[in-house]
Structure 1
């Protein structure tokens, strides 16, 4: 139902009420035949949407033997607005005009009187009265079909726009995949090769350990880049999941390969929702990356525990022991962590500590359910 339009049962009820008023005004209620026909025509309007032709047939006798024609006109309009065969409402209109024009009983018809001018004027008026609901019904039907066609055109244009957007997105993803493969993958490969050479050629154990860590991280980054390139090149042609997704089981390997002195303490079960496990993993990953970038020589502690119906992930680090190198950064890491936590109904707090270190705290509701006030 369109906004501002009355419900169909209300409209039908109003039409029945109007037909009853027409019956009370124009029908001799002392005549049983007229009363029965008029009441039958009035209440038949309740069926006009489901059985339009039957409704008109039931309403036609009242136009023949009484002056109450409202129900018949309403039934004729409904039939015209719902029928896709124009000849059917046209025939019904002629039947209504004949019933309304000819006197009742038909035995009283005198051809000479019908040929008089007043009778001809009445005939023209009756034909116009019968044609009006037919034309109005056809107009309403045409308007309804036009609205449907316009809606279909709008849907088709929206679908075409989506296809165009997908095509543009596919091209952009393909271009990004090429850039990642040709530039980023190449440079990371060079880092891995140089780190491997340094690991083999160096005599200093600390240097060799650092080179091994760099090489391991480079190889892992290359694997992730190759998977991302394959996802981008899919371009929506088939569903490609970003698998395997990290979980709590990968935390120890993450901490061990972080390249810094770090300690992990956790008592969380391994059956938490995947979204929660990913949030915890990415938080620890980002925190350790920031320690490595901004606090060289610092020690880190990762504590993950469950308490107060919430999951707590706290990553702290000591003060750096040597100056940090100036590395490029978009400063999107903490913003992304906060957005991920908000989606799960949690919070992220980060800031410096009193001893010159840094602390990051992720709090998520138990079972990963968003908080509901």
Structure 2
């Protein structure tokens, strides 16, 4: 069961109010020492002073415990009231808990001295049994609150030390994690630069050289070979540019400015994807058509990027594997979901798989899953069908 916690000021007011009410009830029923000879106001005055000091027990502990000691002494001489005694012990406890270390040492010494003096006087005047009784009672009043406050203070300090140590350990762990991530990003950037980027550069250079040879041989601009070389060079140059931007992003480990020249593609670039696909697929008998349904509206950036990559990978797979025919791309913009459908002619012929085959399907499925959506792909009625559903709300954006 959870106990609601009160703000410190409100808790102090509650303690003062309870002490006043409890003391008023005891005074009303005349439950205090020498009630037949002491007027009620003589007992009520120390009670009111002690209750007022409860309001500053945290902010002014020295003042509270000093005036509280005088009020307690007045209460003892006038007529001992239990409510005043209890509130005075709370002032002692608060002085040790919220005061300085010096205050704690002073209260330990004064409390021990008070117990020793009172018990000695009573033992000398009344005997051993009364002296032992005064030892117990005075220890409960002057020493028990001080020891309790000191114990609670030590536990709080230890808890604070452990919390700081845990925060320091978490900070060091986070620094180690970031360092490891930075090292891994740097390694990936080196691998991409030394392997993939170099291969793309070689493809672009060879395509440019082949175009030069075609121009020297005076081949027509609409010659299939010239068009294929142009597509190869354009795609390799664009892939090399994106690869270099990606390498720059990987090398930026978070300590510097990000490469603002890199803008994540979105659905606005799907038309350019289709134009490139038409240019590359006209020689193999492929046609491409885009159909949009519903209001596009504002699409979150992670959703737009994932949709673009899914369409891009689907068109790439169609160019590599589809038979002649129509490749239909459909985007349905709902209020809460974005539906992506790509249908391409399915040949169903077993062929030699290239390195990394089916990695594109895995990547599309992971993109949809990270956004909380769904993905499926497979043959259906003579077509290879790709279906993806991406949530458009803030939840998907937050997960991304």
Tell me whether the two structures share a fold, i.e. TM-score over 0.5.
yes
2:48 is matched with 40
Deviation at 1:96, TM superposition (A): 10
1:361 is matched with 387
Contact 2:300 2:392 in 1 (8 A): no
- Tell me, yes or no, if structure 1 residue 283 matches structure 2 residue 310: yes
Secondary structure of the residue that 2:342 maps to in structure 1? strand
Structure 1 length-normalised TM: 0.77
Secondary structure of the residue that 1:223 maps to in structure 2? helix
Unaligned runs of 5+ in 1: 103-111
Q: How has the CA–CA distance of structure 1 residues 18 and 340 changed in structure 2, closer, same or farther, with 3 Å as cutoff?
A: farther
1:213 is matched with 231
Distance 1:15 1:96 in 2: 29
Contact 1:192 1:219 in 2 (8 A): yes
Deviation at 1:91, TM superposition (A): 5.6
- Tell me, yes or no, if structure 1 residue 154 matches structure 2 residue 166: yes
Indicate which of 255, 258, 264 corresponds to 2:289.
264
Secondary structure of the residue that 2:388 maps to in structure 1? strand
Unaligned runs of 5+ in 2: none
Moved more, 73-82 or 26-35: 26-35
Moved more, 335-344 or 78-87: 335-344
1:70 is matched with 86
- Tell me, yes or no, if structure 1 residue 240 matches structure 2 residue 265: no
Matches within 5 A, 1:62-211: 62-67=75-80, 68=82, 69-87=85-103, 90=106, 94=110, 116=125, 118=127, 121=131, 128-129=139-140, 130-201=142-213, 205-211=223-229
1:224 is matched with 242
Q: How has the CA–CA distance of structure 1 residues 181 and 307 changed in structure 2, closer, same or farther, with 3 Å as cutoff?
A: closer
Distance 1:370 1:174 in 2: 29
Secondary structure of the residue that 2:330 maps to in structure 1? strand
Distance 1:357 1:194 in 2: 35
Q: How has the CA–CA distance of structure 1 residues 335 and 66 changed in structure 2, closer, same or farther, with 3 Å as cutoff?
A: farther
Distance 1:331 1:241 in 2: 31
Distance 2:180 2:253 in 1: 10
Q: Write the deviation string for residues 252-296 of structure 1: whole angstroms up to 9, x where unpaired.
A: 221222322342324465754333332321121011122233336
Q: How has the CA–CA distance of structure 1 residues 321 and 37 changed in structure 2, closer, same or farther, with 3 Å as cutoff?
A: closer
Contact 2:108 2:146 in 1 (8 A): no
Q: How has the CA–CA distance of structure 1 residues 249 and 175 changed in structure 2, closer, same or farther, with 3 Å as cutoff?
A: same
Distance 2:26 2:4 in 1: 22
Contact 1:294 1:324 in 2 (8 A): no
Secondary structure of the residue that 1:237 maps to in structure 2? coil
Deviation at 1:312, TM superposition (A): 3.2
Contact 1:313 1:363 in 2 (8 A): yes
Contact 1:346 1:364 in 2 (8 A): yes
Q: How has the CA–CA distance of structure 1 residues 251 and 136 changed in structure 2, closer, same or farther, with 3 Å as cutoff?
A: same
- Tell me, yes or no, if structure 1 residue 301 matches structure 2 residue 317: no
Distance 2:305 2:182 in 1: 27
- Tell me, yes or no, if structure 1 residue 331 matches structure 2 residue 350: no
Secondary structure of the residue that 2:156 maps to in structure 1? helix
Matches within 5 A, 1:21-40: 26-29=32-35, 31=38, 32-37=40-45, 39-40=47-48
Matches within 5 A, 1:2-21: 7=5, 9=11, 12=15, 16=19, 20=23
2:346 is matched with 319
Q: How has the CA–CA distance of structure 1 residues 173 and 345 changed in structure 2, closer, same or farther, with 3 Å as cutoff?
A: closer
Secondary structure of the residue that 2:353 maps to in structure 1? coil
Q: How has the CA–CA distance of structure 1 residues 12 and 290 changed in structure 2, closer, same or farther, with 3 Å as cutoff?
A: farther
1:340 is matched with 367
Deviation at 1:331, TM superposition (A): 3.3
